Structure formats: C-alpha cells, structure tokens
A and B are shown apart, each in its own frame.
Chain A
Amino acid sequence: MGSTSDSFAPAMSSNSEAVNATSGPIASMGASFLGIAETVGGMAMLFGRIVKRLASFSCDGPELWRNLHRMGVKSLPIVIVTALFTGAIMVIQASPIVERYGAQQLVGWAAGFGTLREIGPLLTALMISGRVGANNTAELGTMVVTEQVDALRALAIDPIEFLIAPRFIGIVVTLSLTTIYADALALVGAAYTGEILLGVEPTTFYHGLTGGLLGIGDVLHGLIKSVFFGVLMAVSSCYFGLTVRGGAPGVGRAVNATVVASAAGIFVLDYFISFLLG
C-alpha cells in the first residue's frame, strides 16, 4: 500500500506537469469536463441559495419592481417583432405542404400547435435570453468588477437577497408573461400571412385553431416550458455575472458564456420536458 501511494503521488505530479506541457486531447477533454462540472455545480449551489431566500420571502421589493419593469416592459418591442415574423415564417414554410395536401382547414391547427408547444416558448426564450439574460450578466459583472458587490457585503447586505433574488423572480415572471403575449402575436402573424399567401380566411384559421384538436393543454405545455427556461436562464445569467474576473474583457466573456449556456440548456431542457409532458 505504502509503495503504491508513494509511486502514485509523483506519478500524479509528473502527470500534471506533462498535461501542462503537452495538453493532449484527453487532457483538454478532461479539463473542459471539469469546467462544465464546476459551472453546473456552481449554478446548483446558487439556485439552492436563491430558493432558500425565496422560501423565507427575503427579497427586496423595490428592486423587484424595478427589475420587472426593466426586463419585462423594455423587452416588448423585440418580442413583438420576433413573434410576428416567426408566425409569418411558420406559415411560409408550411405553405408547400398545405398546398400539396390541400389542407387549408388545417393551417390554423398546424400553426397553433407549432407555436403554442414549441416555437413560441423557444424563440421567446432565446430572444429574452439575449436581451435580458445577457444584460443581467453584464450588469452584475460590472458590479463585481467595480467591487460594488463587495461593498454590499461590507455593509452586511446579503447580495443574494438584494440583487439576485429579485432578478431571478423578474426573469421567470417576464419570460412566462411574454411567452403568452408572443404566442398570441405569432398566431396573429400566422393568420394574416396565411390570408395573403394561401388565401386562407382568418376565420378559417380561427376555426382550425379552436376546432377541438388543440386545447388548454397545449398552451400549458408551452407555459410550463417557459417557466423552466426562465429558471435556467436566471440561474445561469446570475452565476456567470457573479463569477466575472478580469475587467472589461471579463464582462464580455461572461456575457458570451451566459448566452451560450442558456441557449444550449434551453434546447436540452426542451427535449426532456416535451418527452415528459408528451
């Protein structure tokens, strides 16, 4: 035992030196795996702390209202543009299939199911992630770099309670509300594109939408997704914001990491939620 542990220690150190010197493909794979594990672990711990604050209702009220306004109201123009264009694109893409099968009655159903279940929540989440998540990371990162967060700690103010918890609630609420809004607007965009391109009357579209094939379940399916996306986006943007290091370039890198992590996470979560909800 003694000899193995003796030989193990130098082997380890020489190994790590060799890794530093050559950094082969396996070493870099291991390093990126460790990096991912560290990020996920850090996010889980941050999430745990946020939940602990929320469970005891310690969340700064005025900061919450300010964030809701800044995140929700200020994102509306982007959401409106994205939703209208997305609805239009969906009908343009579906139109060859519709004309091939002569299924004009089904346009409303197809656009409705696509929008409510997938495209509405997904695209809204991606745009809000770019607008709100990235902005949130940039703001928190700037606070960290300029030592404002340390100043809060020095004044015995809990940064999680004062900064993070309001942002967490703000992002989750913003995303679920804007998803409802985007669903409706995308359907409007789809209805009028259908009328222009395919000659499907908006009333026919509406009948296809409410004809019994779609129900409140489809709307809830999308909304449940958006709540999960919101939680993921909030935790990742706060985590990357709080762990910024190295001045202005560090803030840029953190924002980049946030949008990448949110986007990848959104699609992975989307699959599993779609699978579980059926």
Chain B
Amino acid sequence: MSQDAALTSPERPSPSTQRVAALGALAIELARAGRDLYGVFVRTLFYTVRGRYERGAVLRQMYLMGNQSLFFLTVVMGFIGMILVLQGGLQAERIVPDPTLIGSTYLELLIRDLAASIGALMLATRVGAGIAAEIGSMVVTEQVDALRMCAADPIDYLIKPRFIASVVMTTVLIIWSATIATLTGMGTAYLFFEISPNIFFDLRLVDFGDLSVGLVKCLAYGAAIPIVSGYCGLSTYGGSEGVGWATTRAVVNSSLAVIMLNFFISGAAFLLIGA
C-alpha cells in the first residue's frame, strides 16, 4: 500500500506520511484477513449443513486429530497439573494456614478455564500446524487448483471434514486432559503437601456455570482452530518456503484466536453469570 501511495503522489512522501501509510496498510491487511476468515467460516458452516457427504472423511480426520494428539496432550496436561498444584501450593502455604482448599479451587479453575484453554493452545500448535501444512502442500502442488477445476469447493472437500472432526475431538480431548490434569494434580498434592486424594477431589465449588463455560470454550476453540489454520493453509503461495510460512502463521494465529476467545468468553461469563 505504501508503494501505491508513493506511486500516485508526485513527490516522495515525508517519513511521517510513510508511517501513517504503513499503519493504514496494516489496518487494511487486517480487515481483509478478517473478512476472508469470516467468509471461510460462513462457507464452512453452510457446507456443514448442506454439503456433500463423503464416507469416512470426518472419521479419518477424527483419527488424525484425536488419536495422534492423545499422547502429546496427555504428557503436556499431566505436567501442567503437577506444575499448577506445586506452584499454587507453595504460594498458598505462605498465605493460608490450611492448604486443603487447594483441591477445590484448582478443580474449579481447571474446569472453568485451564483445561480448555491450555489444552486448546496445545491443539492449536499440534492440529493447527498439521492442517496448515497439509492444505498448504496441496495448494503448492496445485491439488487445490485441480479441485477448483473440477468445480469442487476446497472448503467443502478439505475444511469441512476437519471442522466437524475438530469440534468433536477438541471437546473429547479436553475432557480427557482435564481428567489427566486432575489425577496428576492429586498425586502432586499427596506427595508434596500430604493432602489425601479424597480431600483434594472436592467438587463443592464447581457449579453448572463453570461446567457450561468450560464446554462453551471447548466448542469455540474447536471451531476456531480448523477455520483459522485452514484459511492460512489455503492462502499459501510460493514453494516449500510458502508452506513453512503458512504453518507458522497457522500456529501463531490459532493460538492468538484461542487467547482472544478465552478473554471474550471469560469476560462475558463473568458479566452474565457473575462471580
């Protein structure tokens, strides 16, 4: 955009004008990306309802996303549970005389936010990078153009199955990772702070609101990750360097999408349901 401005104006613009032009270019770029992303989302939803049916496509994606991420997610969430209880317990010991409250507070936080958000950040790197790398390679090797030549919308063929699979599998994997984090947290509390598991596993503070906020987050993240990374994959250009770029952008943008969605959903839940 700044080059365009330089071309149209007769003399070279001053540095401050150039800076404004760069800012404007950035804003236009962002707005365009947002519009394209919205277009992909709407078309994915449309095809989810009215698209063609391909046997096994969704199941294959579910296998790729679910089973292949299981080990990774189990390791990460296991360590997350241990870290949170360890750090939380060490700090709580300084302030609160009775450390048995760790369990109920930890479970509430885990169900309302941490399991979904940290799990989804991990899935954004694992699944998002996978989707962008796969679709990006297809774009670079002109397989997507071949689909378009056959009057087949790549969104229907490529993104829709990943979208459905991701919404289902993100929810399933996050419930699994919450279980793992609870178990490792319980073990850490027992080993380091001598809190017995039945005192730790205290669901008093978990109410319906926490559970529904957690599930809404699962669905939102599960929908956002394939859309954002599928969009990044489809907008690949260039050769192998382009695929690398697309994958990088997919990881960064889907992680950012998770963090922003977390902010908005948590904020809305706080304002609607209250403390």
Contacts and interface: CB of A to CB of B under 8 A. Distances in A.
Given A86-B259, A142-B244, A264-B76, A256 B130 contact: yes
Contact of B240 (A141, A259, A263): A141
Interface string A4-42: 000000000000000000000000000000000000000
Contacts of A82: 255-256, 259
Interface residues of B, number: 55
Contacts of B137: 248-249, 252
A203 interface: no
A183 B83 CA distance: 19
A142 B109 CA distance: 42
Interface stretch (B45-53, B120-128, B156-164, B167-175): B120-128
B111 to A, nearest CB: 11
B75 interface: yes
B252 A260 contact: no
Contacts of B260: 81, 85
Contact of A137 (B94, B244, B259, B263): B244
A89 B87 CA distance: 19
B83 A255 contact: no
Contacts, number: 166
Main secondary structure, interface of A, reads helix
B125 A259 contact: yes
Given A252-B244, A264-B76, A259 B83 contact: no
B2 interface: no
Interface string A89-125: 1001101110110000010000001000110000100
Interface stretch (A51-59, A64-72, A128-136, A156-164): A128-136
Interface in B123-169: 125-126, 129-130, 132-134, 136-137, 140-141
B267 interface: yes
Contacts of A106: 95
A131 B252 contact: yes
Contacts of B117: 89
Interface in B192-250: 239-248
B72 interface: yes
B133 A253 contact: yes
Contact of A126 (B86, B108, B109, B125): B125
Contacts of B76: 263-264, 267
A70 to B, nearest CB: 12
A267 B73 CA distance: 11
Nearest to A266: B76
A231 interface: no
Nearest to A255: B247
Q: Which of A249, A270, A275 has the most CB of B within 10 A?
A: A249
A78 B84 CA distance: 25
A13 B122 CA distance: 40
Interface of B: 72, 75-76, 79-80, 82-84, 86-87, 90-91, 94-95, 105, 108-109, 112-113, 117, 121-122, 125-126, 129-130, 132-134, 136-137, 140-141, 239-248, 251-252, 255-256, 259-260, 262-263, 266-267, 270, 275
Given A138-B243, A248-B243, A255-B129, 18 more contacts: A81-B260, A89-B262, A96-B108, A99-B275, A113-B87, A134-B247, A138-B245, A145-B240, A197-B270, A247-B240, A249-B133, A251-B240, A251-B244, A252-B243, A256-B129, A256-B133, A260-B125, A267-B80
29 contacts: A78-B256, A81-B256, A89-B113, A89-B259, A89-B263, A95-B275, A96-B275, A99-B275, A123-B259, A126-B255, A130-B248, A134-B251, A138-B241, A138-B244, A146-B240, A247-B240, A248-B136, A248-B137, A248-B141, A249-B137, A249-B243, A251-B133, A251-B247, A252-B132, A263-B72, A264-B75, A271-B79, A271-B83, A275-B86
